[in-house]
Structure 1
Amino acid sequence: MNTKRWIAIVAAVALLGISIVINSAFALFQNSFGTGVDELMGATETGFSENVIEAGDFNKRIAVMNVDGVIQDTGEAASLFGAAGYNHQAFMEQLELVGEDDSVKAVVLKVNSPGGGVVESAEIYDKIKEIQKNTEKPIYVSMGATAASGGYYISAPADKIFVSPETLTGSLGVIMQSVNYGELAERYGVDFVTIKSGPYKDIMSPTRDMTPEEEAILQEMLNDSYESFVDVIAEGRDMTEEQVKQVADGRIMNGRQAVEADLADDFGYDEDVIAALQKDFDLAGAEVFEYGANQGLGSLFSMKVNSLFGADMESQMIAKLLTEHSAPRMMYLYGEK
């Protein structure tokens, strides 16, 4: 191992230690002085700031909500080695606020996501359906550069879906992946010892080939999730199961193709979607706002560390291996995690 790699490893380990210390100290600080910190950081009583996009009538407001990034629950705080991205817990809390706030008359959901976890996508979908049922608030979706797989799943129940002609969408289906490095390990003399209580306890092990029986077990699980996905689209888009399955084969498509396949309603960017919502539901003059998250000291520190080490791709990869230990799971996801 050359000097550069040793330096990268030492730097990654050091940063991991610093991250643990900073996060622990900040958590203690928040627990001890939580109310004061929130006030200093400009938080509202809900814990989220409200950034006004268009000033207007406060009694009839349009909430703009953002799903930006992979839809997965990685915890509240961003990793030291990664920029703050989609925060599942925060987004679910924002949906709860939208449902309870009588001043919010409509929602624009901005989706820029390749999808994500099956469970997290279903949680968002269920909450959107609950809001629609209990409040009858209209929800329009504005798809960004990418709104595929789980990104489409959470969009399906919307009253209208708007795309750019070049939006990357589709990829309707389920995927489960793992890496098999058994042959590589064998080449270097690495032997894996596994003691298990049943024949399938190490299913999808990265150290060996999968058996046909194991593959059949997993395929049955994926088929169930796929059928649920098809049902969600069929209900949301008023399509038959057969119509959905004609395009729900994993293919990716652009915005033009999505409109032609009845998976989207019209073309438009964020401002067009807001204007359409105002026109369709007599919300001219409504205040338009979006929720903003307050950045804690940990997030600010993370930004500084990324700025310092961002150019060192090798140290980032090593840090990722040190801090992420994710088991294979079913995903509504286009592309790699």
Structure 2
Amino acid sequence: MNTKRWVAIFLAAALFLTGSAVSLISTVFSTNLEDLFATPERGFEENIIEEGNGQGKIAVIHLSGVIQSNYDTPSLFQSPGYNHRTFLKKLDAAAEDPNVHGVVIRVNTPGGGVVESQEIHDMIVDIQDDYEKPVYISMGSMAASGGYYIAAPAERIYANPQTLTGSIGVIMQSINVAELAEDLGIHSEVIKSGPYKDIMSVTREMTEDERAILQELIDESHELFVDVIDNGRENLSRDEVYELADGRIYSGSQALEAGLIDGLGHFEEVLDDIREDVGRGNLDVVEYQSHLGLPSLFSVAAKSVFSDQLQLYGMKEWMQQNQGPQLLYLYTN
């Protein structure tokens, strides 16, 4: 390698380290040092975003990103995002806190895992049935598939007219590289205990028997999705749900017309409505914010300087974590 190339590499490394240091230092000085190095047992903090009469609280919880438990322990180079375990803790805290009289979940997600969506759905049902606290959903730019699944049992659902929601259905997918492998002279050797052990293998065509087995799984999960909407949306008959549940997406306005949501409104309007519903006057509004620790600060700084490379790294990490096909309530475009 010639001298000029070594100099270029050295300069790039120096710029990266300098930029990261500046970003990190500026963030540190704008953050309480005690909070920076502390690790709350719950994994999140409660902050007042609107002061009210002090007679109780409305808890605001954000659900952003793909609903998947794979990202519960992000690496230093991964951007902070959805953490399933922490999100469930937030729901549990809102349920257990006697001063919380209502919950608003701000949803911005294309959906995600079938199991994770089911866990959130069940907790929302428990908050309303066992703790008798209303849960309102405020949809952001997207609340599709699993995002709608978790919204269905809520007391009321609101969206922006341009929100993308719906995508009611289940998907399982993989790629097939059999022809490419054959062209490249690559052959897969598989030793298996039964004929279906390597079902959905990427190196061979799927058989009709295998397709039937997987379709049965898909149909079972889809039926559960229909059950959730049928139970949660009393204004819709089961036949109407089946008609809506063909996988298409809806705008917020279309969803309102179809009966999938209760109203159109911004986040602040949702807060006004739940306060009125609770009937305790102008309650405080608190937000459960995930803790911003040193790893998160490092990842933010790294992303600002090294964004393109980190996207490639994140894609590689995602592929390593998702080796097999999964049942998903997920909108993919």
- The aligned residue for residue 162 of structure 2 is 166
Mapped contact 1:41–1:294 kept (Cα < 8 A): no
CA drift at 1:315: 4.2
Mapped contact 1:192–1:207 kept (Cα < 8 A): yes
Question: Which of 189, 212, 217 lines up with 2:213 in the alignment?
Answer: 217
Distance 1:280 1:315, change over 3 A: closer
Q: If the length of structure 1 is used for normalisation, what is the TM-score?
A: 0.84
Alignment of 1:159-308 (within 5 A): 159-238=155-234, 239-308=236-305
Question: Which of 113, 118, 124 lines up with 1:122 in the alignment?
Answer: 118
Name the count of aligned residue pairs: 300
CA drift at 1:74: 1.5
- The aligned residue for residue 83 of structure 1 is 79
Cα RMSD for the two superposed structures: 2.0
SS state at 2:70 partner: coil
Distance 1:99 1:38, change over 3 A: farther
- The aligned residue for residue 104 of structure 2 is 108
SS state at 1:135 partner: coil
Larger mean CA deviation between 277-286 and 75-84 belongs to: 75-84
Distance (Å, rounded) in 2 between the aligned partners of 1:128 and 1:270: 19
Distance (Å, rounded) in 2 between the aligned partners of 1:314 and 1:112: 21
Q: If the length of structure 2 is used for normalisation, what is the TM-score?
A: 0.85
CA drift at 1:66: 0.8
Distance (Å, rounded) in 2 between the aligned partners of 1:214 and 1:51: 51
SS state at 1:74 partner: helix
Distance (Å, rounded) in 2 between the aligned partners of 1:90 and 1:38: 21
CA drift at 1:219: 0.5
Question: Which of 48, 53, 62 lines up with 2:49 in the alignment?
Answer: 53
Distance 1:286 1:310, change over 3 A: same
Residue identity in the other structure for 2:116:
E
CA drift at 1:276: 0.8
Residue identity in the other structure for 2:135:
I
CA drift at 1:240: 1.7
Q: Deviations over 1:216-249 (max 9, x none)?
A: 0010111111111001001111122101011100
Mapped contact 2:47–2:288 kept (Cα < 8 A): yes
Q: Deviations over 1:174-209 (max 9, x none)?
A: 000011112112211211111100000000111111
1:333 and 2:330 aligned: yes
Mapped contact 2:58–2:100 kept (Cα < 8 A): yes
Mapped contact 1:43–1:49 kept (Cα < 8 A): no
CA drift at 1:55: 1.1
SS state at 1:290 partner: strand
Mapped contact 2:152–2:228 kept (Cα < 8 A): yes
SS state at 1:154 partner: helix
Mapped contact 2:94–2:100 kept (Cα < 8 A): yes
Distance 1:47 1:176, change over 3 A: closer
- The aligned residue for residue 32 of structure 1 is none
Mapped contact 2:101–2:278 kept (Cα < 8 A): no
Distance (Å, rounded) in 2 between the aligned partners of 1:314 and 1:141: 31
Structure 1 portions without partners, runs of 5+: 1-36
CA drift at 1:105: 0.2
- The aligned residue for residue 27 of structure 1 is none
Question: Which of 121, 132, 139 lines up with 2:128 in the alignment?
Answer: 132
Distance 1:325 1:121, change over 3 A: closer
Q: Deviations over 1:142-180 (max 9, x none)?
A: 011000100000000111111111010110010000111
Mapped contact 2:145–2:168 kept (Cα < 8 A): yes
CA drift at 1:269: 0.9
Structure 2 portions without partners, runs of 5+: 1-32
Distance (Å, rounded) in 2 between the aligned partners of 1:314 and 1:296: 21
